Amino acid sequence: MKPLLITSSLILSLGTLQLSAAVVISGGHIDVPAFGYDSLDGFEPHLHNEGGPDGAIVDGVRVETDSEYEADEAIIKVPLTSTTSLNSVTYFWLPDNATQASNNGTPFVGFGLEELEPTDWNGNMTLKLTGVTGPGDFLLWTYDINLDPVTLLDSNNLALSFDLPPGAHEHFNWGFTDEGVYQLTFEISGNHVTDGIVSGAGTFTFAIPEPSTALLGAIGALGLLRRRR
């Protein structure tokens, strides 16, 4: 395959085709990633907003109705003012606690496997990070019963993975070391009672801080080009 030459004019012109779909999620409860499954189409990566009074804030407006977005249709905003330190490293931070997320002005981001019926699966689902683009490092972590940090995913160690049961809904801490746009590719795999061992993946976009219109266009264009290759 020949290398793809991308010029700034091509990015901006193609980006205008995607701007209408690239919503910015700046607060409220949102599942990223969320996964459904269909035997015909396989895993379906998406963002899921359960709605209600804690629903996601989409383009500045709280959406209280249940809604979904394709993986390439939304960008998660991480504000510059939400930070934390772990092992002497400072991260731009999406907290694992709803109150802290609200206080920090961030989305409350969860992993959503509620659409996977437990009786359809043998054992747990395995989640891992298979690709990262961005200006810095990414870390996903939680805390054990002794309040010691436990790393779940690390952009510097793509061999890491963790398990969740089908039907689960969990929240963790998300950290990014540098300002800019990150695209994270999450893979899910499991043993389906009918289809056997299956896997799928989706790429989700995070921006620190909210991207400009021109940058939204560039992101949309790159996504469009990726799908056309």
Whether residue 215 has pLDDT greater than 60: no
Domain extents for the chain? 8-228
pLDDT in tens, 112-155: 999 999 999 999 999 999 999 999 999 999 999 999 999 999 99
Whether residue 204 has pLDDT greater than 50: yes
Average the pLDDT over 3-32 and give the result: 58
At 228, is the pLDDT very low, low, confident or very high (cuts 50, 70, 90)?
A: very low
Helix/strand/coil (H, E, C) string of 157-211?
ECCCEEEECCCCEEECEEEECCCEEEEEEEEEEEEECCCEEEEEEEEEEEEECCC
Contact 126, 199 (CB under 8 A): no
pLDDT at 226: 40
In angstroms, the CA 115 to CA 155 distance is 27
Whether residue 224 has pLDDT greater than 50: no
pLDDT in tens, 67-122: 999 999 999 999 999 999 999 999 999 999 999 999 999 999 999 999 999 999 99
Q: Which amino acid is at 135?
A: P
Return the structure tokens found at 191.
Answer: 């043993």
pTM, two decimals, is 0.84
Q: φ and ψ at 171, to 5 degrees? A: -120, 140
pLDDT at 212: 58
Average the pLDDT over 54-73 and give the result: 96
Whether residue 22 has pLDDT greater than 90: no
Average the pLDDT over 169-179 and give the result: 98
Return the structure tokens found at 205.
Answer: 């976009």
